[in-house]
Each structure stands twice: as structure tokens, then as C-alpha cells.
Amino acid sequence: MDSLLEQIERGTLWQFPGGVHPPQQKSLSNQQPIARLPLPDKLVLPLKQHIGANGQLLVNVGDKVLKGQALTKPTANWSLPVHAPTSGEVIEIKPMPSAHPSALPELSIVMTPDGNDTWCELSPVSDLNKLDHKTLIDLLHNAGIAGMGGAGFPTYVKADSHQPIEFLVVNGVECEPYITADDLLMREHAQEIVQGIEVMQQLLKPQRVLIGIEDNKPEAIAAMKRASAHNTAILVRAIPTKYPSGGEKQLIRVLTSKEVPSTGIPADIGVLVQNVGTLFAISEAIYKGKPLIERVVSVTGNTIGKPQNVWALIGTEIKHLLDCQGFTPVLEQRVVMGGPMMGFTLPTVRIPVIKTTNCILAPDNQELAEPGDEKACIRCSACADACPQSLLPQQLQWFAKSKDYDKLEAYNLFDCIECGACSYVCPSEIPLVQYYRVAKAEIREQKLDQIKAERAKERFEARKERLEREQQERQNRHKRSTSRSAKPDAEKAKVADALARVKQKQGDKSAVQAAIERAKAKKAADGSLEPDNSEVALERALRKEQARLYKEQKTSEDAPLAENAKEDSGKKDAVTAAIARAKAKKAAQQGEQENGQPQPQASEPETKKSDDDPRKAAVAAAIARAKAKKAAQQGEQENEQPQPPASEPETKKSDDDPRKAAVAAAIARAKAKKAAQQGEQENEQPQQPASESETPTSDDDDPRKAAVAAAIARAKAKKAAKQAEQENEQPQTSTSESETQKPDDDDPRKAAVAAAIARAKAKKAAKQAEQENEQPQQEQSVQDAGSTDATPQTPEQKRQAAIKAAVAKAKAKKQAKEQEGNDPS
């Protein structure tokens, strides 16, 4: 059995189902050659003249354009540019009626020709073999070529097929009545059509090129055979005249016996179909560089005075074509764009010619009668018999009227090629094709809405997912931040615990240090430790120096006020000195009374109170007794004597042991010497007693008070020295005499104790006088007791202090010598 290719080469043809045989009426327009019309007054160029998206405007109102200049550029898939059909000026860019049964307005460029018909610069190709695949595709794309057989599919998309093409089918059938545009084009431009075929051969590499022409066009068949004789891959086939054999799927079935699957395209079975008008435009674009700006249009009908095919510029109004061909309208005249089977009646003749316009039919009433009223379907099945796609037009019409779109798709509504054969044979004059067209448009709109809804849903879900993801991310960030913050808190807690422990240790150390300081202070109070207060003394000296400078400045500013206050201050100082002298005298009298009585009866002065102040005398007596006891203990420690302190029981045993009396006298002399040394130290530092922790601050503020206090201290020291001399003179009497006169005088130790008590009382009285006169402002620590705050601030005060110290030293030496001379040993 022969293969398919062998059968095709042998000339075998196949039949398609259905089809009709309407009157041809081609002789009206195929007797004259193709005519060229004069330039119209204006051109209306819709931006969309094909299947696909609009191009982007490149011109504005008022721009001058040249013939062949691009007015738009492609911006999306299946988008083609529009070119200027002639030179002229762009006068408007606005919506204009479209080439559609509804004549809905579409954005269009309106231009007026200038009459010069000046071409823009063209770029023809001399050698096709020098161009690669992509360059050829770009040339076809930029030329704006679309399918000129009726569908308007972009040619560059078909030419760039990614599927292998076995057969390239050239459609020259032109089966619809009245249309002869392709017939005349093949007769006059067969050579250019073959050139276009060769371009497609280079792009698609098909095994065979099959040219199908109906057998009612013998001249066109002959012309194509002559033009393609040199190319053995091109086969010209004359097929039987039958409508709609010019349909894409029907022609493929007739020439190759292949059937395009439902909802499929010819490329799915390795076949690609091109119209002869499209191939002519490809040849013009490649070999002459001309874009698609004109095409052949059949202007025919009984109302046309000169029916023939014309070269019509794209954008020319239908009225211009009719006027040029002698159109004579009749009553209820109709003008149809396309043929009587697939064309549509125009609502106005101001519709422009577009790239898919192949015929303008203006029949009279007898030639193409007005359809009558629609009648009920009689179920004759004539429509089903005539359908070339083997569909069920009756059922499709029912579903279309009831808008059952699911049933329409189930019955393959979109396989309908809208050939009109069913309507042509319907005895009830039902416009079946119109039902199908409306149903297709509604289904497309519904699908478009569904696609929009799905996209909106996808966007909503994507947005919802994005918001949830962002919320989750925020929660995760919050959790991470919380965990990170929790860790530092734990670490901070650990650090705080460590610091607390350190501080506790430091507190313990501070407590220990405080205890050590208290111990040192206690030792310093006992006189066993002399703290180093040199730094503190230096700081205090600096503060005092600053205070002195500030006081001098203040004194210079307040000199007038100081003169007025000087008299009052002197009076106050005199009163204070008198009071101090009276107190010292009273203390001395109390000391004399206590020295004249034995130690065991020391409590008697408490009952014998002074006439001046009984309470102060009692306090002074108690202090004197305590100081005497302390002085006795210190004396024993310094002399390193193992004997117990001189107590009352020891004094009772002195009558039996004269040697103890001598020892006691030696102790008394040592104590007297010690008291003299203490008095000397007190005289050297009259402003700061070593045994007290109070440091007077009033001396620094008032030099006159310091002078008064120094005078009082000198008087008290002199008084104490006299009392010591008197006490030392009393034991010089013979022991026997004292023993015979008084029982208490028999023991020299009592005399020594009494002398020590007297000295302590005198010292106490002097201290009290100093405290009362100086009125200290604050208490100082034991460490401050050895500071040099009491140092005189002026040279005069320093000189007086030096004199006082010298006098005190001399008196102490004299007293010591007297005590040595009175030593009974």
C-alpha cells in the first residue's frame, strides 16, 4: 500500500463531510484586472486589526508621517504594528467605528494624505540565504503581516512554529461566492506568491508544499504551476468546487486526509496553512521591504457599476471604494463585508478596510433577498447534513437559546467554523450562525470573568498567605526576642547574685575593717597608738587656708560692720574670762578641801556641797576620784611594780612596814613627775587636749576667743602647779610627828594618793573651763585628736603659744626638782 506522501504526489484527493453548492457569481469581478484607486480624503487606522493585543502608539496628533512608517510598535504577545498607508498628517487619535457587526468604537489613528505618497526608507533583502531564522521572523513581525484569509492570525507566530511541519498547505481555494481577490492575485502575482512560499520553506522546512485551488479557477491554476515549476517540492492541486472547501480544516482533509482534532490546531498534526494573500505580503516585506499597508479587495454586486478587484489602502473607508466603483444604492440597500455566506452587514459605510477585508458586496434585493421571519425548527436535519464539521446545529441552537454553556462546550461549539452552510439550507430561515456567534462571545466573556475571578482568588489567597506568613514571622521574632531577652535576664540575675555576694563579702570586710578601726580608736584613746593623720591634716589645712582667704576678703568687704561689732565682742570676751576665772577658783577650792581629807572618806564632799553650785561640786568630786584611780594604775604600769594598786586595805598595813612608806613616797614622786610632763604637753597644746575627742572649731572662726582660752589655760596651769607644790611640801614633816598628830597621816602613800587626786581634779577643772569657754561645734574621731587644727593662725598667736610653752616647761622642771629635794628616802 502506498504511503501518504506517495498518494499525495500521485494526486490523490479526499473528501470532507457536508458542504453546499451555492451560486458562484464570480464572473462579475474576475473579468477585469486589479485596479488601483485614488488616494482617499482620510484614512482611519484601527490599532487592532488582528487576533492579539494592540500596539503602543508612536505618533501624536499633528505629526507628519511617511508612507510605510510605523505608527505603533508591538508590546505584547501576538501584537502587530500598524503602518502609514501613505504620507500625510495625523489629525486625530480617537475611538472610531470598528469593522464588526456591532461597529463598536475602537481606538484609531485618523490621518489625511498629503498627496505625495512619499515612502519612508525601506530595507529590502537581496539574498534570502544570508538571513537566519530569527532575522526572518523579526522582519515578518515588524512588517505587521497577519492572516489575510479572514482570521487575522499573526503570521510571525505561525512561521516560528516549534513543532515539526510536514506539509505546508497554500490556500488558494477561495470557495465563497462573489469573492475573486485571491483568483486575480494568483493570476497577476504568481511569482511573488511563490517567493513567499520559499521564505516559509526556509523557516519551516516542510517535506511538501501543497497549493489547493478550486477547479473553477483554471487561469490561476495555470499561473501557479508555471511560477512553481522550478521548485519540485511545490505541488499544485485542483480540488472540486464545493463550499466550504476553503476552510482550513476542510482543505487539510481534502489534500492530506488528516483531520485536525477537536479544539486543536493544524500544527498538532504537522500541517501549516497560509493564504496566498499572506504569502504575497511576505514576499513584499522580505524582497521589497514594504510593510502590510494595502491588499486586494473584491468590490462586487448588482448595485456596483464597475465590479472588480482593487488595491485598497488599509484604513480606506468603504464609502470611498463604493464611490470609486460606481455604487448605485437601491431601496433597503445592504452592504456586506465579506461574502454572502460568512460576511456581515455593515451598519455604516464609514467602516475602514482592515487587513482581513477581502470583499465588499453590495447586492440588490433580488440578488440577496432579505431573510424572512424566523420559524420553528421542523427537525429536517438538513443543517446536520450540511455541516462540514459533523456537528449537531439543531441541538447547539437549543443550548444557545437556553444559555446552557456547559452543554454547548460538550457539543463542541467551538469546532464550528461559522461557514453558514447550516443557515443556508435551513427551510425555517433560522439564523443559526448568529446564535453560535453570540453564544461563543458569551462563553468567552464568562471564561474571561472566570479567569479574572481565579486570578483575584489567587491574589487574595497569596495575600492571605503572605499576611499569615508575616504574622507568623512577627510572632517568631517576638518569641526569639523574648527568649533572647529571657537569657540576658537570667544572665543579669546571675551577675546580680554574684555582685550581691561580692558586696556581702565587701560588707563583711567593711565590718571587719570597722572593727579594726574601732580597736585602733580605742587604743588611740588609751594613748597606746598614735594614728597617722598627716593626709587628713593637710586637707584640713588646705580647707582652712581657703577659708582664711575667703574670711580676709569678707573682712575687707565688711570692715565698717566689724568696727561697730568690735566693742560688743570685747565686752563679751571680758565676761567670758571672768566666768572662767571664777570657775577655776571654785575648782581649786574644791581640790584643797578634798586633799585635806583621807581617801576612804572621799564621799564626804558629796554631802558638803558648795554654796555656789552643789551639783557641779558633786560631779567634780566623782570625776576626781575616777581620775585618781586611773592615775594610780598608770603609775604602777610605768614603774613596772608588781604590787597591787594603793587601795584602802594596803593603807591599813603601812604602820607595820616603814619600807612600804618609802616605796609609796617614790611612787608619789614618779606620779608627780608624770603629772608635770602631762601638764607640759597640755601647755604646749592648749587648744587641743589629747585625752578628749572634741576639737574646738570656734578658735578658727574667732581669734579673740582663742586668745581668751589660752589665757584661761595659762591661769589654770599656774594654779595646778601651785597646788602640786603645796601637796609636795606637806609630806616633808617627820613621819613620827604625823603619826602622833593624825592617824591618817601616818602613811605617806595616802599623801601621794591625795596629791594625785588633787592634780587630776585640777586638770579636770581646767578642761571643763576650756570646754565651757570654747563651745565646740562638732566631735572628732580619735584619729583627729592628734591633728594640728589648733595651730595658731597668726604670727602673734604663734609667738604667744611659744612663750606659754617655755613658761610651762620651766615650771615643770622646777616642780620636779622640788619633788626630788623633798624625797624622804
Under 8 Å CB-to-CB from 257, ≥6 apart: which residues? 4, 7, 14
Residue 640 zone, left/alpha/beta (φ > 0; ψ -120 to 50; rest) = left
At 474, which helix (H) or strand (E)?
A: helix 432-526
Say if CB 184 and CB 34 are below 8 A apart.
Answer: yes
How far from 767 is each of 20, 592, 623, 760, CA to CA, in Å? Answer: 153, 18, 12, 11
Rounded CA separation 703/288 (Å): 128
Among 290, 280, 294, 291, smallest CA distance to 198 is for: 280
> Annotation-wise, does 419 bind a ligand?
yes
188 SS3 class: helix
Q: How remote is the C-alpha of 460 from its chain's centroid? A: 25
Say if CB 412 and CB 447 are below 8 A apart.
Answer: no
- Give the DSSP per-residue string, 659-681: HHHHHHHHHHHHHHHHHHHHHHH
> Annotation-wise, does 387 bind a ligand?
yes
Rounded CA separation 44/94 (Å): 10
Name the residue type at position 101: P
- Give the DSSP per-residue string, 79-99: ----B-SSSEEEEEEEEEE-S
Question: Given the C-alpha cell 532575522, which residue does it identify?
Answer: 135
Among 91, 71, 309, 81, smallest CA distance to 186 is for: 309
Rounded CA separation 151/160 (Å): 18
Rounded CA separation 215/238 (Å): 5
Q: Around Cβ 570, how many Cβ atoms within 10 Å?
A: 11
How far from 403 is each of 211, 399, 633, CA to CA, in Å? Answer: 41, 6, 135
Rounded CA separation 32/296 (Å): 13
> Annotation-wise, does 359 bind a ligand?
no
> Annotation-wise, does 120 bind a ligand?
no
Cell readout for 119 is: 515612502
> Annotation-wise, does 426 bind a ligand?
yes
How far from 513 is each of 498, 516, 529, 781, CA to CA, in Å? Answer: 22, 5, 17, 16
Rounded CA separation 477/489 (Å): 18
Measured torsion, CA atoms of residues 315, 319, 322, 328, in degrees rounded to the nearest 10: 170
Say if CB 719 and CB 762 are below 8 A apart.
Answer: yes
Strands 208-214 and 167-171: parallel
> Per the omega criterion (within 30 degrees of 0), is the bond before 748 cis?
no
Rounded CA separation 269/485 (Å): 69
Rounded CA separation 420/385 (Å): 13
Q: Around Cβ 770, how many Cβ atoms within 10 Å?
A: 24
Residues annotated in the binding site, as ranges?
A: 377, 380, 383, 387, 416, 419, 422, 426
Residues annotated in the binding site for [4Fe-4S] cluster, as ranges?
A: 377, 380, 383, 387, 416, 419, 422, 426
